[in-house]
Amino acid sequence: MRVMRVMKRCVLPAAVGMVLVFSGTARAQQAATKLAIMDVQRAISQSNDGQQAAKEITERFGPTRAQLEKQQKEIADLQQQLNAQDKTLSDDARTKLMRSIDDKTRVFQRSNEDATSGFQTAQQDAINEIGRKMLGVIDEYAKKNGFAVILDVSSPQTPVLYADEALEITDDIIGLYNQATAKPAAAAPASPAPAAPASKPPAAGAGAGSAPAGGSPPAAPAP
């Protein structure tokens, strides 16, 4: 039983709709309508933020998945034991084993439902956050390049039956989104300046380079 899938299909909030950008009715009427298409689901999942979110969600729910798989294996082992020993088990032993299987199955199902709900919530929150930021990139891209309409063709239910591949702008949006959301690289810490050698007054009557009387040799200068 598959418990969770990480960002295989990304769904933007319903408010986004099929038409992502419409840059103005008057403008569309005054000039030839310029259209483009994009796969919003792919743009989200393949963006740097999307890949990072998928990784973080996978790591976050990794222990839960492992626990569910352990529970599932325990149930399978008990079921196998029941099948193998069915003819030799006493009625009481068979009843006890079947009750144990039922109890563990109920616990597994509740845990699986809770984990799946939590996973889907975390996934949808990440998708919504990335989607909101991506819409700003799409809007700016459309205005800059004179597009009147940009259609999302990621859903199988899209009304777009055919579109020339030359209209595809998904990769452009991914690149612009990654640029717009790139985190500045942390500045490397400045190396400390070398310490100047401590000056030591020569001891009375001592020649140059000799240690002070009754003292220790001077410390070597710090590198």
Provide the pLDDT for residue 22. Answer: 46
Provide the pLDDT for residue 184. Answer: 78
Provide the pLDDT for residue 211. Answer: 37
Residue 55: both structure tokens together: 């990784």
CA distances (Å), origin 174, targets 6, 20, 49, 93, 128: 19, 15, 10, 61, 16
Provide the pLDDT for residue 33. Answer: 82
Per-residue pLDDT tens digits for 150-184: 999 998 888 888 899 999 999 999 999 999 999 87
Neighbours of 136 (CB within 10 A): 11
Provide the pLDDT for residue 69. Answer: 97
Provide the pLDDT for residue 93. Answer: 92
Provide the pLDDT for residue 63. Answer: 96
In 86-196, which ranges are continuous DSSP H helix?
91-145, 170-181
Per-residue pLDDT tens digits for 46-71: 999 999 999 999 999 999 999 999 99
3-state helix, strand, coil in the chain (%, to 5): 55, 5, 40
Neighbours of 38 (CB within 10 A): 25
User: What are the counts of helices (DSSP H) followed by strands (DSSP E) for the chain?
Assistant: 5, 3
Spell out, as residue ranges, where the chain has pLDDT lower than 50.
1-19, 22-30, 198-223
Provide the pLDDT for residue 157. Answer: 86
In whole angstroms, give the CA distance from residue 33 to residue 28.
Answer: 5
DSSP state of 65: H
Of 161, 166, 171, 163, whose CA–CA distance to 141 is shortest? 171
Provide the pLDDT for residue 81. Answer: 93
Provide the pLDDT for residue 189. Answer: 60
Share of the chain above pLDDT 90, in %: 61
Provide the pLDDT for residue 178. Answer: 97
Instruction: Give helix 48-85 / helix 91-145 axis angle, nearest 10°.
Output: 160
Q: Is 17 left (phi over 0), alpha (psi -120 to 50) or beta?
A: left
